[in-house]
Amino acid sequence: MNVIETHGLGKSYGSTKALDRCTLAIPEGHVAALVGPNGAGKTTLLNIAVGLAAPTTGAVTVLGGCPTGSLAALDQIAFVAQDTPLYKNFSAADLLHVTRNLNRRFDQGYAEQRLGELGIPLRQKAGKMSGGQQAQLALTLALARRPKLLILDEPMAMLDPLARHDFMATVMTAVADDGVSVVLSSHVLAELERVADYLVLLTRGSVQMAGAVDDLLERHRVLTGPASESDVYAKQWNVVHASRAASQAHLLVRCDGTSDPVPPGWEAHSLTLEELTLSYLREPGAGALPGPARARDTEQSEVTI
Amino acid sequence: MTALTTLAVSTRSDGGADLRPLPWRRMAWVTWRQHRIALIGALAFIGAPALCLLIVGLQLHHAYAVAIACHPASSAACGAAVANFNRIGNFLSKGIPLQLVPPLIGAFVGASVLAREFEAGTFRFAWTQGLGRWRWTLAKLVGLGFVVAAASGALSVLAVWYYQPYFTSNNQFLVKFNPLDPGLFDLRGIGFAAWTLAAFAIGVLAGALIRRVVPTIVATLAVYAGLAFATGAWLRLHYLTPLVTKGLNVAGLVEIVSQWGSRGGRVVFTGPPTFPIYQQYCPAAAGLGKGGGASSGNPLQCLVQHGFTFWTSYQPASRFWPFQWIEGGWLLALSVLLTAVTVWVVRRRAV
């Protein structure tokens, strides 16, 4: 089952295209990170997935075929929006009550216990809490609904490093305990590295790279060798990004399935998710998408140096 | 093909596409918790004029009882009693302060329903809960609309009692009001609650479109003022075909729609007789004679003698209740329509 599936999704605000022919399938059981530069369409995609916005063109379904915004989708998807908007004059207890009333399921015991662990008094107003507490409260409200899919839009943008850590710890506990699928958008690449096992990279409103993190890392190598030979090899390999020092060249290479032998004089290194993501962000034309069906698209948008 | 269809259907029902919506009563507490300050404010806002009506009304009813019980009517004591009655509650006499209640309640309570959600971004929280956003909206509108209409309806019951002396007396010296007077008509009967409901519905829809609280309040007050003015100045006078009478004075308290004069079956002037008419036919009676002396005799009577006929179309005070039902009816229909449009906007409008 795919938790979010889109085909040729487009969304225009006036003449601005926030999403453009965005085709994507995020399978269940992952913590999927949605990354991309500002204005790439991350928030728009998430707003469409939770039913707040309607696409201009294309199709989108959630949780294996439910229309977005349908009762079934609303029932099983919990959403924490950017800047975690909560009613500022409501106490934590009031917000629990409201969320309980507005949903079919609500685990009051879990929510109260969680807030207790976080040291958030039930009588405290949301408006008087710190940014980290508000984010934790919004997350607790979402998780107490016992969703199948948790969608978080820039949950860590306003948080300090410690609060980020605590926030993601709560998310990962829910993933481990309930098997909830998570889709989160974020700018904080270093933080994602610890938690995300699926990556979707959006650029200019469409998907540039998507896949399981292990898979993506396995299929990418940094090859370091003499700069004089780099042009020759660059033609043979799928080079995503190249950088050259005086005598050495570093080529980020995608090796699709086959393990090409490293030529003599060259060294291969694996790379981190952050390095991989940054390389793709620097090369908006490069693409890496899973599945043979999309191989042709990939070739077209590839950059060869 | 069949297998595919079956698969698709079973996937859907696994996902709970046949879920029953959550019961509406779940919204009652949510609505109360979210709008209790606005509602308490509105009740206080109604409570102040209500208290005023009660205190002044007791004095008024007492003065009225004294004035009509007084004999002989021509005595100095009775004159004082009549003057006392006529003096009390002057500031409320045409109902102007009370006319502010429906638009202000409607604007403040109505604007807070959607505009504040948009302004604070909390619609992202509210509309992604399991209840669904159009149910959330409709439940709030029906609940809050009912409460504000009921509260202002209660105030109008008090107004009915307060103004009663002005409509019942046969004493020619006591101040009397016309039930169809634009300032008083909708204070008594169902009009007041209906206007409050309409103001609320305008405020909510304006909030859905404008999405900011203060501009929404301003727009609501402006739209309401335009609607109320158009109704009082023109629309209400045409709820039923006006009666037409011939003669110089229309008997009793009526709301005059228009007046005109004719001569020989032809309309000569509309409104009161014009200056050239007087000059031509009755200069002396109208005080336009040579030397500009005081008028001699009744100028209208003079025109009648010259073959003029005066016509007046009017609405009789006896049409008060039919007019109440008509006004209440169209305002209720308008409120329902505005609510339907609001729900449609909420369902459809993309973020």
Query: What is the interface pTM, i.e. ipTM, of the complex?
Result: 0.89
Per DSSP bridges, beta strands B266-270 and A267-269 are unpaired
Where are the domains positioned within chain B? 24-238+319-348, 243-318
Read off the pLDDT of residues B232-241 as tens digits, 9 standing for 90 and up.
999 999 999 9
Q: Do A102 and B131 lie within an 8 Å CB cutoff?
A: yes
Which pLDDT belongs to residue B41? 93
- Structure tokens of B16? 């709970």
3 state SS of A242: strand
From B12, B22, B122, residue closest to A104, measured CB to CB: B22
Q: Which of A83, A101, A145, A181 to mutate to test the interface with B (most CBs of B within 10 A)?
A: A101
Over range A163-174, report the average pLDDT: 92
Give chain A's domains with CATH numbers: 2-212 (3.40.50.300), 219-300 (no CATH)
A45 in contact with B, Cβ within 8 Å: no
A72, A63 Cβ separation under 8 angstroms: yes
Over range B81-96, report the average pLDDT: 85
A92, containing H or E segment: helix A92-101
Q: How far apart are CA B347 and CA A26, in angstroms?
A: 27
Which pLDDT belongs to residue A189? 84
- Structure tokens of B113? 């329903």
Q: Which of B124, B140, B211, B349 to mutate to test the interface with A (most CBs of A within 10 A)?
A: B124
Over range A26-36, report the average pLDDT: 95
Judge whether residue A181 has pLDDT over 50: yes
Over range A246-251, report the average pLDDT: 85
Averaged confidence pLDDT in chain A: 88
Which pLDDT belongs to residue B175? 85
Read off the pLDDT of residues A71-105 as tens digits, 9 standing for 90 and up.
999 999 999 999 899 999 999 999 999 999 999 99
Read off the pLDDT of residues B263-300 as tens digits, 9 standing for 90 and up.
888 888 888 888 888 888 888 777 766 554 455 567 77
Judge whether residue B146 has pLDDT over 70: yes
Over range A8-23, report the average pLDDT: 93
For B285, phi then psi, to 5°, come to -65, -30
First and final CA of chain B: distance in angstroms? 37
Which pLDDT belongs to residue A299? 37
Judge whether residue A301 has pLDDT over 50: no
Which pLDDT belongs to residue A244? 81
B25 in contact with A, Cβ within 8 Å: no
Which pLDDT belongs to residue B171? 76
Q: How far apart are CA A124 and CA A135, in angstroms?
A: 14
User: Which of A210-214, A236-240, B203-207 has the least mean pLDDT?
Assistant: A236-240
Confidence of residue B323 (pLDDT cuts 50, 70, 90): very high
Q: Do B26 and A97 lie within an 8 Å CB cutoff?
A: no
User: In this structure, is the dihedral angle defined by the CA atoms of residues B298, B300, B303 and B308, taken in order, positive or negative?
Assistant: negative
Which ranges of chain B would DSSP assign to H, the alpha helix? 2-14, 26-69, 76-87, 101-120, 123-126, 133-168, 191-210, 213-233, 275-281, 299-305, 320-348
